[in-house]
Amino acid sequence: FCAIYIDKYMMNREIGFGRRLLQILEEEEISFEHTPSGIDNMSVILESSELGNKEDAVVDRISKELGPDDIAVEHGLALLMVVGEGMHYAVGMAARATQALSEAGVNIEMINQGASEISMMFAVKETDRKRAVNALGHAFFS
């Protein structure tokens, strides 16, 4: 996977910013996996093959049309999901997962929990994928 990171001061006050970003991807015929966001930043997680040779064109369009303060593309990410209906009522699930990854020496590049609280997504370096999967497996199934 790869991620496009976009930072813009007061992005949250700019009506339609997210829609315009996703419209650029739609017009370039690129689908996405997740769009974690904060007040001043937004990330788009994509299959690396989706971006392909369109990376420069997409980054250029985002820069020109949305005027971000900063934009970066990171390659070589792996997405890990912790999923379960019981997670909604279990206290400390995120703490358990992050502690397991930390103890395994795996840096979390990004974390996202859906509003339903039945899934958490972790982005880690592809090189840490196996270690991360083993750590989460031990934390939740041992």
- Please indicate, yes or no, whether residues 59 and 70 belong to a single structural domain of this protein: yes
- Which comes out higher in pLDDT, residue 65 or 84? 65
Q: pLDDT tens digits, residue range 4-58?
A: 999 999 999 999 999 999 999 999 999 999 899 989 999 999 999 999 899 999 9
- Please indicate, yes or no, whether residues 85 and 66 belong to a single structural domain of this protein: no
The domain total for the chain is 2
Amino acid at 96: R
Amino acid at 39: I
CATH code of the domain in which 25 resides: 3.30.2130.10
Q: pLDDT tens digits, residue range 50-75?
A: 998 999 999 999 999 999 999 999 99
- Domain residues for the domain of 90 are 77-141
Look at residues 22, 40, 75 and tell me which one is the last residue of a structural domain.
Answer: 75
Distance in angstroms (rounded) separating the CA atoms of residues 24 and 119 = 28
Distance in angstroms (rounded) separating the CA atoms of residues 30 and 39 = 24
Q: Across residues 109-137, what is the average pLDDT?
A: 92
Residue 55 is inside which H or E element, if any? helix 55-66
Look at residues 53, 75, 97 and tell me which one is the last residue of a structural domain.
Answer: 75
- Please indicate, yes or no, whether residues 61 and 88 belong to a single structural domain of this protein: no
- Please indicate, yes or no, whether residues 70 and 81 belong to a single structural domain of this protein: no
- Please indicate, yes or no, whether residues 44 and 82 belong to a single structural domain of this protein: no
Look at residues 20, 40, 75 and tell me which one is the last residue of a structural domain.
Answer: 75
* pTM (2 d.p.): 0.87
For residue 112, the number of C-alpha atoms closer than 13 Å in the C-beta half-sphere is 18
Residues sharing a CB contact under 8 Å with residue 113, sequence separation 6 or more, in sequence order? 94, 119, 120, 121
- Please indicate, yes or no, whether residues 52 and 13 belong to a single structural domain of this protein: yes
For residue 128, the number of C-alpha atoms closer than 13 Å in the C-beta half-sphere is 19
